[in-house]
Structure 1
């Protein structure tokens, strides 16, 4: 398999259509033409080798065309989550140095123009213009053009500038300070892993199909997409997840594979009373984010919806590993599984001794694989910290080796929170709180609230004369303007001080005590 992304489309045994978007089909030949037109269009906008293009779109054919076209030109795509709001978008544009942003005109309740209006132009000096999909322009600080690449005749594409080992796609991942880091992948890491996924899952273009219901802006959605492109199979795409359309596609098109969160599959099952509604389903890879996922897996199994535990991250890509059908059910639903690539190596390091751990002993998971990222974009220090001297990625996850070639993921080692299906650093929310009037300091922890993972904040008020204590309603309103909804705390409590412990390494905040305090307060309410 070639290391170029374009090679994935040229799979010899591929079937048509390649994609189905809300009933509209796109053949592989049409996809190739759209990519060429998009490459020509990008070049006309002044995009060339090394330039960064921000893509702020829902799941649509333009997203795929932009990625493959950027590869054609040697440019870089930075994926922007459609749930991001002004602070997150501004940070991403600043850190990536994006020269062009391709953005939705509107989608459901998301007002992209209003969000961009909150981004201070001087904070993102590299951004030159916006390209709008679905409209001629939107109100914005920047010049706007319409993304009309598909409407124009296809002149000869620019001379290819692609280098398969340079960055082509940037994912966002949680950081320890405000704002996410950018995980850089090349054509080689993406294409090689896509081919490994197709091989490991033994995908047949004529027998298998994918329901793509995860956002392309994240590695979970993009990796499954590329794997099925590599397999030459048909992909049915949801622009954004909703249970009812997902159920309809699963039933009507006899889908064999889908990937998502436990909550997605829970919602789909809740809409049908049929005892075994999906007899054609072979594999549903799921990430367990919510309490009660084991019970869900048991119910799904009884109703013929086979859930498979898996593992991945932006750094080693999603679908890095997955359970096998031959695994016993309790093992099959655990996170982890068997690496997709035969060239991948997983080891576990004892967090106390620093030595490699024996089979069955929990420690930090370290991974070496062809799917491993190039590094954090424009952040060599963070890259050095994340990679061992012999080239393994320090995942920050705790797990254990089984001894048969598979492994088990157990939990995150750090304080990162899983909210709304996304890994979020507390520091990102804490910094936004500390920027609010009347707040001197803040701490954020995750709790289980009515079966969902939510965050709760504790704030110390500013000690200023005649300064009113911060009010929860005002703080929440401010955060809703600045952050995605799933990052907004469910509760904000004012305290005089945080619980701390003195240690040889300094004063440490007792985050476990904060979580207990949050649950006590909520229970009292």
Structure 2
């Protein structure tokens, strides 16, 4: 134990010593231009001219026998060499047996399992585009994304095949289903087993030579609500994702150590891989570095802390609800946190007191970072540097190749310590929203800056603090809940004339959806009935518990819901 603690202390000291280099960079090169544009203080990176598939596997020969991914509860997993070979074989079968062609969309509806990276890389090697679906979505939610993405194939678990088939029936689609069997049981009739496709020794891989995909092609299509409205397909190119991986490799901000003959970082994958945060930061990026991914299929506090200790987790990426849990749960102890070296929080900022509570649990200080990003930015935009402890509410300066502006309502640039909307420019910014030019035009300025919909403040050193959201999204446990989606479901009820939804503070979840409904003349539906109607059609984190009945929904002259008025009166 003594030698292990000494090792961790030395590694942490090395990280802290590097923080002074960041201060020097800022002092020598002001991050603020005369026009009040915030430039990155870090050296620009070169963007590799390759596909994401080649980027991820580029150093495979350095760590073929290292573990790529392992299930935290069962121990089932793959080495990097196995992952490469199986995904390659799977890719060939996608082209041969399912006729997947360049640009075709394949939907992946899986929890965090060791097979997730293999499935994803196989789709890309076959020339396909990956769209990820939350595995707890209802058929109502799934069918919308299948229609919008025009998916040609769905990959899921045996237990969620029923949901997929219900979704296909609603959407009137006939799409094949591949299942990943994690427990050896029989698979649903009419589906195809992933293992049979990935372990096929006889498939002709020459078909992969037909793939013609380049860095500027779209390869990942997550769905986000953007600044408002229903979910939209975010078109991310291979170049977007590759550069975001390279941007966080800068020595002053990187969160990992090099994989060598004697060392391999261990990252516990508790954030969902269907979300851009984990997909890029944990899957694509960490695979390119030979890091071990320990996947947690279902989050349970005891299982989480047991995995932290059992797999000697030294890298952890979290959202605020998990961070708060780590500062209060009985299983969060010096022992369960003993190997943790780097902890990165995203999705929403934390207060210094929240960080201090964790340090008290660990009985030592940990290299704590905060970052800021969006699905539309692949996702990372800012990240606090190594050893930065000046302000735990700060999310750091812009990462390499990234510029920021803080603007007022007329898009005039504001200066240090002034609050305004965060605008972003960089090679990690999305192409646009799929088949939605209007929504795309609304989030880009005429000169190409991406509007985040978030309010922020940047200090003299270029450190961004996210102050609030202009956007209407509700954040529940770090997940996006678009009010427009819940409103649309409410209006489907035969008794509802009109509806509105806002986010209200919640002690555990951050925010919670609260609904308002106007009933049609002569109709009487109790709140419990409307809640049940909505909740059986949406994922658990989107569910509403409270409905207020109104005579009318407050709206502007243009017909937009005045959520601000509802928040002032009922929040």
Correspondence for 2:408: 350
- Shift in Å, 1:191: 2.0
Q: Measure the CA separation in 2 of the matches of 1:508 and 1:349.
A: 23
Correspondence for 1:317: 378
Q: 1:154 to 1:30 in 2, by over 3 A?
A: farther
Q: Measure the CA separation in 2 of the matches of 1:369 and 1:442.
A: 38
Greater length-normalized contact order (CA 8 Å, ≥ 6 residues apart): 2
Q: How does 1:138-157 map to 2 (within 5 A)?
A: 138=188, 144-147=191-194, 148-153=196-201, 155-157=203-205
Q: 1:154 to 1:283 in 2, by over 3 A?
A: farther
Q: Measure the CA separation in 2 of the matches of 1:288 and 1:80.
A: 18
Correspondence for 2:121: 68
More displaced stretch, 429-438 vs 14-23: 14-23
2:81 is the alignment partner of 1:32: no
Determine if contact 1:166/1:186 at 8 Å carries over to the other structure.
yes
Correspondence for 1:483: 538
2:129 is the alignment partner of 1:129: no
Q: Measure the CA separation in 1 of the matches of 2:145 and 2:428.
A: 23
Q: Measure the CA separation in 2 of the matches of 1:29 and 1:154.
A: 19
Q: Measure the CA separation in 1 of the matches of 2:537 and 2:84.
A: 38
Q: 1:197 to 1:227 in 2, by over 3 A?
A: farther
TM-score (norm 1): 0.88
SS in 1 for 2:155: strand
- Shift in Å, 1:62: 3.0
Q: 1:28 to 1:273 in 2, by over 3 A?
A: closer
2:157 is the alignment partner of 1:104: yes
Deviation string, structure 1 residues 268-308 (Cα, Å, up to 9, x no partner): 45133634752432221113659x85532220133335532
Pairing partner for 2:550 from 495, 517, 524: 495
Pairing partner for 2:359 from 277, 280, 301: 301
Q: 1:146 to 1:25 in 2, by over 3 A?
A: closer
Correspondence for 1:287: 346
Q: Measure the CA separation in 1 of the matches of 2:226 and 2:452.
A: 13
Q: How does 1:373-522 map to 2 (within 5 A)?
A: 373-452=430-509, 453-463=511-521, 467-499=522-554, 506=558, 509-519=561-571
Deviation string, structure 1 residues 292-331 (Cα, Å, up to 9, x no partner): 85532220133335532210110112333221244334x2
Deviation string, structure 1 residues 382-415 (Cα, Å, up to 9, x no partner): 2222223333211111112223233222121122
Correspondence for 1:236: 294
SS in 2 for 1:274: coil
Q: Measure the CA separation in 2 of the matches of 1:480 and 1:321.
A: 35
- Shift in Å, 1:362: 1.4
2:57 is the alignment partner of 1:4: no
Structure 1 unmatched runs, 5+: 107-111, 520-525
Pairing partner for 1:21 from 59, 71, 93: 71
Q: 1:174 to 1:508 in 2, by over 3 A?
A: closer
Structure 2 unmatched runs, 5+: 1-47
Q: 1:495 to 1:187 in 2, by over 3 A?
A: same
Determine if contact 2:92/2:126 at 8 Å carries over to the other structure.
no
Q: 1:175 to 1:235 in 2, by over 3 A?
A: closer
Correspondence for 1:109: none
Determine if contact 1:456/1:489 at 8 Å carries over to the other structure.
yes
Correspondence for 2:4: none
SS in 2 for 1:315: helix
SS in 2 for 1:227: helix
Correspondence for 1:332: 392
Q: Measure the CA separation in 1 of the matches of 2:243 and 2:224.
A: 21
Correspondence for 1:89: 142
SS in 2 for 1:395: strand
Q: Measure the CA separation in 1 of the matches of 2:146 and 2:128.
A: 15
SS in 2 for 1:337: coil
* Number of residue pairs aligned between Structure 1 and Structure 2: 499
2:242 is the alignment partner of 1:191: yes
- Shift in Å, 1:54: 0.6
2:208 is the alignment partner of 1:161: no
Q: 1:299 to 1:176 in 2, by over 3 A?
A: closer
- Shift in Å, 1:121: 3.0
- Shift in Å, 1:245: 2.4
- Shift in Å, 1:372: 1.4
Deviation string, structure 1 residues 349-377 (Cα, Å, up to 9, x no partner): 222x3211112211111111221112111
TM-score (norm 2): 0.81
Q: Measure the CA separation in 1 of the matches of 2:536 and 2:544.
A: 13
Q: How does 1:212-291 map to 2 (within 5 A)?
A: 212-225=269-282, 226-269=284-327, 270-272=329-331, 274-275=333-334, 277-287=336-346, 289=348
SS in 1 for 2:106: strand
More displaced stretch, 382-391 vs 361-370: 382-391
More displaced stretch, 82-91 vs 439-448: 82-91
SS in 2 for 1:239: coil
Deviation string, structure 1 residues 147-173 (Cα, Å, up to 9, x no partner): 332332163422233222111111110
